[in-house]
A and B are shown apart, each in its own frame.
Chain A
């Protein structure tokens, strides 16, 4: 389990995050929502050990995050930040193969996993193309495949977790849907998924738990039906919205 206890973060006198308590269960999808500047990315950075919290602690599979040996942790925790600065002409296959760096499973096994990961994100055709010559959406798919390849199979070190920062930002409609399907299928295999999303309806359609951040605090946390209410959206986004019901899935539908 992935757990944040009383996390807070202050940078040069500003309180970016305050009193965050959060649990991400293996096998569930948790989505972090909130307006720009609410602290979503900062929260991900605290949870993944990129930034140390000012107070509080992060418990990952039973022990505090920084007590994990980096290589061992990387076998079960895969993190996909927003936009990689990669500007060298690696092929898609080589980029995805880097997801296997923490593992020592051998080239044959790794090649199988890389093929499978590329095909899952619909990127098999990119295999030999150069990363530097791809479109934004194609790059994002290759990076997603890399993050998936990193935790493709269960590992003895503990439950697997996948952390994604706005994984669908450069995607068209079809690839947004595809990403959510992938995330759900990983959750069904027992992977705990935590992601930042901007689109409320996408989040409602795939997450078991929503976390609404507002000005560095958790404004609401729980099932999509509980979090996505007209009053909450008015309070957090200052927007008058109506809440409907998705005709097929039955999840809440935010109409602006």
Chain B
């Protein structure tokens, strides 16, 4: 296993991000010629391609990039917090918790709320609260003085996901058609509702998050040594944990509220980045943000083009990639699971 320099990696990943963004803008049900991309910067163009770019493609690729960056960096932080590389927001129930929160808001708020201007932020807050509850429960259950029990962590995730499934079924039972469609969309993980309000909502949370999380990198490194060890290095462990649980629940919550449960991004990305540049969170978190954006952009572009003009849900693509990856990781960790 040879390590690469973090700065070189971040440079290459950033270039890949630019390429993925351009690719995402150009391809879809209608292919846009590269020369038209310049038209993005002038609002006077009113031909079809420019309108497609402005109202459909641009919000869509920005949403994918922001959600990917959010899930990638939150995944990296959670794995540090749980001291285990299997902690992924979708596997340990945080995404499900967030989707229950979102469903609750949609159900009790009614269709009127969803259509109105304040609908999205309110759904995001519901998702945040749901995600926060789920993270706190899983964390309390699975970590102790001596470390994290992987099996408890994954089992707690199963329990929360099952509970979320039951809640969603209950809501679906009472919901009317429009609401039903909305709720099931959250379960699938789809970016097809991309529009500017969603991009704004996501950006307001994710952009500050991407700058805040890497600042906790050094403290997270110390947490990996063990909680006592971190405390003896002068780190206020309890405060740090509370802050990180809050920030990741916020990130995952808002990502879920705009794009539903896109699984496995938070698992695959930090793992790949760790293989390439090592586990130091000061570089792992920004690296995971960039590579997460690249992965979700590519997955979403594939979802839009593979069966064009029909669209696959983006979550299906990431799950197809992620599930075998997860099984491989499980095999690798098998000895540790028997705890």
Taking Cβ atoms with an 8 Å cutoff, the residues of A that contact B are 48-50, 70-75, 77-79, 81, 84-91, 94-95, 98-99, 101-102, 130, 146, 150
7 A–B contacts from the bound complex (CB under 8 Å): A49-B231, A81-B228, A84-B226, A87-B84, A90-B224, A98-B222, A101-B233
The answer, yes or no, to whether B1 is at the interface (CB within 8 Å) is yes
The answer, yes or no, to whether B234 is at the interface (CB within 8 Å) is yes
Instruction: Decide: A101 near B234, CB < 8 A? Known: A85-B146, A89-B278, A94-B278.
Output: yes
Residue contact A98 to B278, C-beta cutoff 8 Å: no
Query: What's the Cα separation between A87 and B85 when bound, in Å?
Result: 9
- State how many residues of chain B have any CB contact under 8 Å with chain A: 25
Smallest distance from the beta carbon of A190 to chain B beta carbons, Å?
A: 20
Query: What's the Cα separation between A95 and B278 when bound, in Å?
Result: 12
Query: What's the Cα separation between A84 and B147 when bound, in Å?
Result: 9
Residue contact A81 to B226, C-beta cutoff 8 Å: yes
Residue contact A130 to B233, C-beta cutoff 8 Å: no
Neighbour of B279 across the interface among A78, A85, A90, CB < 8 A: A90
Neighbour of B278 across the interface among A81, A91, A99, CB < 8 A: A91
CB nearest to B229 among chain A residues: A84
CB nearest to B236 among chain A residues: A70
Residue contact B279 to A98, C-beta cutoff 8 Å: no
Residue contact B274 to A98, C-beta cutoff 8 Å: no
Instruction: Decide: A88 near B279, CB < 8 A? Known: A101-B222, A130-B1.
Output: yes
User: Interface readout for B261-294 with A: 1 if CB under 8 Å, 0 if not?
Assistant: 0000000000000100011100000000000000
Taking Cβ atoms with an 8 Å cutoff, the residues of B that contact A are 1, 83-85, 146-147, 218, 221-222, 224-226, 228-229, 231-236, 274, 278-280, 336
B221: chain A residues at CB < 8 Å are 90, 94, 98
Query: What's the Cα separation between A48 and B234 when bound, in Å?
Result: 12
Residue contact B278 to A78, C-beta cutoff 8 Å: no
Instruction: Decide: A85 near B278, CB < 8 A? Known: A70-B231, A101-B234.
Output: no
Smallest distance from the beta carbon of B235 to chain A beta carbons, Å?
A: 7
Residue contact A48 to B279, C-beta cutoff 8 Å: no
Neighbour of A78 across the interface among B226, B232, B336, CB < 8 A: B232
Task: List 7 other contacts, CB 8 Å, given A74-B233, A146-B225.
Answer: A50-B231, A74-B234, A77-B232, A81-B229, A87-B84, A90-B280, A94-B278
Residue contact B234 to A75, C-beta cutoff 8 Å: yes
B146: chain A residues at CB < 8 Å are 85
Residue contact B278 to A84, C-beta cutoff 8 Å: no
B232: chain A residues at CB < 8 Å are 48, 74, 77-79, 81
Smallest distance from the beta carbon of A106 to chain B beta carbons, Å?
A: 15
Query: Which of B85, B228, B235 lies at the interface centre, i.e. has the most chain A CB atoms within 10 A of its CB?
Result: B228
A79: chain B residues at CB < 8 Å are 228-229, 232
Neighbour of A95 across the interface among B1, B225, B228, B234, CB < 8 A: B225
Residue contact A101 to B280, C-beta cutoff 8 Å: no
Instruction: Decide: A94 near B280, CB < 8 A? Known: A81-B226, A84-B225.
Output: yes
A75: chain B residues at CB < 8 Å are 234
Instruction: Decide: A88 near B228, CB < 8 A? Known: A75-B234, A94-B278, A101-B218.
Output: no
Smallest distance from the beta carbon of B15 to chain A beta carbons, Å?
A: 26
Residue contact B85 to A88, C-beta cutoff 8 Å: yes
A70: chain B residues at CB < 8 Å are 231, 234-236
Neighbour of A89 across the interface among B83, B222, B234, B274, CB < 8 A: B274
Residue contact B278 to A90, C-beta cutoff 8 Å: yes
B147: chain A residues at CB < 8 Å are 85
A150: chain B residues at CB < 8 Å are 233
Residue contact A71 to B234, C-beta cutoff 8 Å: yes
Smallest distance from the beta carbon of B70 to chain A beta carbons, Å?
A: 22
CB nearest to A101 among chain B residues: B233
CB nearest to A163 among chain B residues: B232
Neighbour of B226 across the interface among A73, A85, A91, A130, CB < 8 A: A85
